[in-house]
A and B are shown apart, each in its own frame.
Chain A
Amino acid sequence: MNELLRLSAVQLASLIRTGEVRAKEALDAVFQEIDEKEESLHCYVTIDREGAYAQASALQEKIDRKKEAGPLAGVPIAVKDNICTQGLRTTCSSKILEHFIPPYTAEAVLRLRQAGGILIGKANMDEFAMGSTTETSYFGATHNPYDLGRVPGGSSGGSAAAVAAGESFAALGSDTGGSIRQPASFCGVVGMKPTYGTVSRYGLVAYGSSLDQIGPLTKNVEDCAVLLEAISSYDRKDSTSVARTDTDFPAALLEGLHGMRIGIPRDYFGEGLDPEVASAVREAADVLKAQGASLEEFDLSLVDYAIPAYYTIASAEASSNLERFDGVKYGYRARDCEDLHQMYKKTRTEGFGPEVKRRILLGTFVLSSGYYDAYYLKALRVKALIKRAFNQAFSRFDCILGPVAPSTAPLLGESLADPLKMYLGDIYTIAANLAGLPAISVPCGKDSKGLPIGFQLTADCFQEKKLLRAAYQYEKATACACGGEAFRKGGAL
């Protein structure tokens, strides 16, 4: 393994800025890693060597002329394939967008480039971000770098696996119900879903518009803070974008944990949680306590209602958001259609996979005449209650600590057979999306099978700094920064 790959994104950028490492060398290292592992891992849908080298040489020229190159100067970064990139196909891992080349670039990617980041490819994902395993991808599943027989989690599974395997230094994912945090946890990397409205959604192909946020997947907490600062922006093209003045996230890493109050919901440690995960998470809590935080158990309440509320709202929005894929303007169109309705139906029936159809049908139903009040509005009312429960919790605590997922990575093929069971795996992550809260997944060891475990910290809206502060102190205390670890410590490959 190339020594460069042991560096964090921040370390690499600093060496590239000072000229000790050429941008091209970093790319060479990453592409070599990709060449070796991609066939067995399948982290990417599209790899853009040409574009990446062109970006790198432009950046190198800047550096050579002593110009400001940005905090992510020359850092190779993977972008989830539901984030639009002009001229580079963006498929959402769906047949219906297999050949779709967007005419514009997502705001978050523009920001990443401004910070010096180099886009190397588009990461595999569950089709339209619907799934928790990356197995619903039309282009085939991504494999977990720690155990090739297991899933990397999802839906940002390609992003998480790429960072874990050294096939990228960092990645962007999107999180609608845990799609950044859960794969981060399964692959032993750091993943954050920011407060709703912090990162522009312009250019993110919508799944559940009121829940979606783009966020970073990184080797460690410092990288996470730097990447998040780079992609956070007030964007006039996104009406739900929030103008924040506190996005200097790396500043949070300098503070200790004294005075930080951490709440641990008892309801997160009940039935269904793998005991090994439970004990790893409790150990993580103890580490934070040793660093000066206070711990207190409490009852969050309503935990069991988040999943039904979430699947109602997300499916409803998805059913509408995915109507635009109809074979008229872009993407796949079925052959040999005699009339318009046949064209619509054949295109969509052939273009979407089973999980996407399942959610479209459910979403169509809960919005349909006669059921809207009973299902959709009811879910929005429960969402209000859940938000209220969090408000109460955050009047007492700075952060809430719990597991990310009930178990470590399942075997490939294990989850799709029973959709409802798969949905239940989102129990700890979903509430943050419903309430718009920031949450981070941090690696905290492995289970007896050698699979990574993550713990989750959730804070009130706009309190990412609290999360980063706690996560960073944890990481420092345990030296558990894990990027690329799977391969360094003799993992699967």
Chain B
Amino acid sequence: MSTIINDETIDNISILAQLTLSGEEKEQAKKDMGRMLDYIDKLNELDTTDVKPMTQVFPMDNVFRDDIVATAQGEASIEAPALDDADARPEILQGAPAAKGNFFSVPRTVE
């Protein structure tokens, strides 16, 4: 069944996963995935016609929060800090690879 892993499949999967594979890596990935899927195909030996897919191991339901505002993270910085005053940024931005003012910054998105 490993025939399903052709170049097109690998290309499509790597686009979806946002990974770039070199030619060599692609060949290896095809091989690895093909082998793994052959192995997973073992599951088809089992008749699961009337078995419902199990998404949770316990029958738990209705875990909710009340609609109450939690301590406002970054309340102290409700006032916008001066641009590029890194220390004044909300904590959530402290580890950002790139930030501008109070924003995360990313390369321009193509529209």
Contacts and interface: CB of A to CB of B under 8 A. Distances in A.
**Do A's and B's CB atoms come within 8 Å in the complex?**
yes
Interface stretch (A175-183, A379-387, A402-410): A379-387
Contact of B94 (A101, A210, A319): A101
Contacts of B51: 381-382, 384-385
B29 to A, nearest CB: 6
Contact of A305 (B4, B13, B42, B107): B42
A21 interface: no
A196 B18 contact: no
A360 B13 CA distance: 9
B91 interface: yes
B18 A331 contact: no
Nearest to A309: B43
A413 interface: no
A330 B95 contact: yes
A375 interface: yes
Given A378-B44, A385-B46, A362 B18 contact: no
Nearest to A102: B95
B34 to A, nearest CB: 11
A381 B107 contact: no
Interface string B19-39: 110000000010011011101
Interface centre among B17, B56, B106 (most CB of A within 10 A): B17
Interface in A372-419: 375, 377-385, 387, 419
B43 A379 contact: yes
B16 to A, nearest CB: 5
A326 interface: yes
A312 B40 contact: yes
Contacts of A338: 107
A345 interface: yes
A420 B46 contact: no
A304 B42 contact: yes
Interface in A113-157: none
Contact of B58 (A341, A364, A461): A461
Contacts of B19: 345, 348-349, 352, 357, 360-361
B96 interface: yes
Contacts of A331: 95, 97
Contacts of A385: 46, 48, 51
Given A101-B95, A339-B110, A378 B12 contact: no
A308 B32 CA distance: 14
Of the four ranges (under 10, 10 to 19, 20 to 34, 35 or more), the interface on chain B belongs to 35 or more
Contact of A327 (B56, B91, B97): B97
Contact of A360 (B17, B56, B108, B109): B17
A100 B95 CA distance: 7
B69 interface: no
A343 interface: yes
Contacts of B40: 308, 311-312, 366, 375, 379
B58 to A, nearest CB: 7
Interface string A277-315: 000000000000000000000000010110111011000
Given A103-B91, A333-B97, A436-B57, A382 B48 contact: yes
A345 B18 contact: yes
Contacts of B65: 236
A345 B53 contact: no
A358 interface: yes
Nearest to B45: A305
Contacts of B36: 311, 362, 419-420
Nearest to A339: B107
Nearest to A350: B20
B82 to A, nearest CB: 22
A40 interface: no
Contacts of B72: none
Given A362-B33, A368-B12, A384 B52 contact: yes
B42 A308 contact: yes
B56 A210 contact: yes
Nearest to A197: B58
Contacts of A371: 4
Interface in A328-344: 328-333, 337-344
Interface string A204-223: 00000010000000000000
- Rank and list the top 10 A-B pairs by shortest CB-CB distance, nearest first: A436-B57, A380-B53, A333-B97, A381-B48, A384-B54, A330-B95, A344-B18, A308-B40, A239-B63, A381-B51
Interface of B: 4-5, 9-10, 12-14, 16-20, 29, 32-33, 35-37, 39-46, 48, 51-58, 60, 63, 65, 91-92, 94-98, 104, 106-110
12 contacts: A196-B58, A242-B60, A312-B40, A319-B17, A328-B106, A329-B92, A340-B106, A345-B20, A361-B19, A365-B5, A375-B40, A380-B53
Interface of A: 99-101, 103, 196-197, 210, 236, 239-240, 242, 302, 304-305, 307-309, 311-312, 319, 323, 326-333, 337-346, 348-349, 352, 357-358, 360-362, 364-366, 368, 371, 375, 377-385, 387, 419-420, 435-436, 461
Given A103-B95, A196-B57, A339-B110, 5 more contacts: A308-B43, A328-B106, A344-B18, A371-B4, A377-B53
